[in-house]
Amino acid sequence: MSVTTRITVAVLGLVIVLASMGVGYGLWAKTLVIDGSVANGYINADFTAASTNDPSGIIDPGYAKDVGSCTAEVIDDQTVTATLSNAYPSYQCELYVTMHNGGTVPERIDLVDITSPPEITVDELNGLSGTEIDPGQSVQGTFLVHVEQEALQGQVYTFTITIPSTVWIFGTPGFWKNWDSHNTYTQGEIEGRLVEIAASSSWLDATSVADMEAVFAAALGGHAPMESRFLAHYLATRLNNASGILNPAALHDVTGPDPGKYLGLATPSAATLTEIISAIEGKSGTSPTKDEFEIMKDVCDALNNRTI
């Protein structure tokens, strides 16, 4: 082989290698992007409006004169300021705030916490507490601010209303464990899926929500066996599959949680949920070690949190 031929072959070989790397990189990157777009739900319940029933120039509520006034303003997404001016004992006004869920997952407003001095009473009228806001939806909260007789003239009093909101990430064990808090699915719906899962699984036999809660409870605590922790995540994965939260045909790269290819997937960088479940079921009866349970737990955990 001449020198020219050798160089040509080397260059062609290099091109092929680079092309292969490029294709591989491209697929990997694409998978990441797709997964990312599916996984990254976000929460974003913000204040969008604030007002009162006694702005300046309006007759005081319950009286015949315009003496006090009450204004509210959205300072930023997370903060509303309310100011009562020239207030006096028995003066009161209603404060209205609108919260909008600009996120991608439903949010539930938890118990509203109100802190005020004894001279000021703040009550939540139409409760925000416990309200659920779907993505794109808004809710209005009303608070009554009342100045008590103990209030002194020429004073400044402050109060704070703290509105916490939370969202259960759809599909985590916590989501399923708290099924009766968010009521995304009825008990009947869940138990119907549990029966289907139990019928097709060698790992799982829960057929009632009580059984399901027991599986999740067994995984709690720092000393919970790795097998119990795996079963909790796997049950969540199966429920996600049965409920359509996870797409059975979507591709997942499990090479992160399973670098040693314990599950034996044909294409671990692009395995369908159905293939992963099948691989996990295939481990039943093989007496996995603690590390192997941890691998399966990590795979299911990543699936439930949409990080793969």
Partner 1 sequence: MSLAALGVAYGLWAETVHIEGTVNTGTADLEWLVDESSCNDDGIDPGYGKDVGWVSLALGPTSDILEVTVESAYPTYSLACTLAYRNSGSIPVRVKTIHTTYPNDKLTVSYWNGPVVQLDPGQQKTCTVYIHVEDQAEPGISYTFTMRINHVQWNEP
Which 284-303 residues touch partner 1, going by CB under 8 A?
297, 301
Interaction mask 211-230, partner 1, x per CB under 8 A? -----x--xxxx-x-x--x-
> Could you tell me which residues come within 8 angstroms of residue 159 by beta carbon, excluding any fewer than 6 positions away?
114, 115, 116, 117, 120, 122, 145
On whether the CB atoms of residues 101 and 138 are closer than 8 A, the answer is: yes
Q: Which of residues 85-104 bind partner 1 (CB under 8 A)?
A: 85-90, 95, 97, 99
Per CB under 8 A, the list member of 51, 240, 241, 304 interacting with partner 1 is 304
On whether the CB atoms of residues 304 and 171 are closer than 8 A, the answer is: yes
> Could you tell me which residues come within 8 angstroms of residue 194 by beta carbon, excluding any fewer than 6 positions away?
206, 207, 208, 209, 211, 212, 239
Nearest approach, Cβ of residue 151 and partner 1 (Å):
5
Burial class (CB in 10 A: 0-12, 13-18, 19+), 261: exposed
Interaction mask 113-142, partner 1, x per CB under 8 A? ---x--xx-x--------------------
Nearest approach, Cβ of residue 180 and partner 1 (Å):
15
**Complex with partner 1: residue 174 or 248, whichever CB lies closer:** 174
Q: Which of residues 237-276 bind partner 1 (CB under 8 A)?
A: none
Residue 199's identity, in one-letter code, is: A
Q: Which of residues 162-201 bind partner 1 (CB under 8 A)?
A: 162-169, 171-175, 177-178
**Complex with partner 1: residue 135 or 275, whichever CB lies closer:** 135
Nearest approach, Cβ of residue 177 and partner 1 (Å):
8
Q: Residue 126 has what DSSP assignment? A: S
Token pair recorded at residue 104: 């991608």
Nearest approach, Cβ of residue 284 and partner 1 (Å):
20
Per CB under 8 A, the list member of 51, 54, 68, 246 interacting with partner 1 is 68
> Which is it for strands 138-147 and 251-252: parallel, antiparallel or unpaired?
unpaired
Per CB under 8 A, the list member of 31, 157, 196, 256 interacting with partner 1 is 157
Q: What are the Cα distances from residue 298, in Å, to 9, 227, 248?
A: 45, 12, 18
Q: Which of residues 34-63 bind partner 1 (CB under 8 A)?
A: 43-47, 50, 63
Token pair recorded at residue 260: 């040693």
On whether the CB atoms of residues 206 and 222 are closer than 8 A, the answer is: no
Per CB under 8 A, the list member of 147, 263, 271, 308 interacting with partner 1 is 147
**Complex with partner 1: residue 45 or 263, whichever CB lies closer:** 45
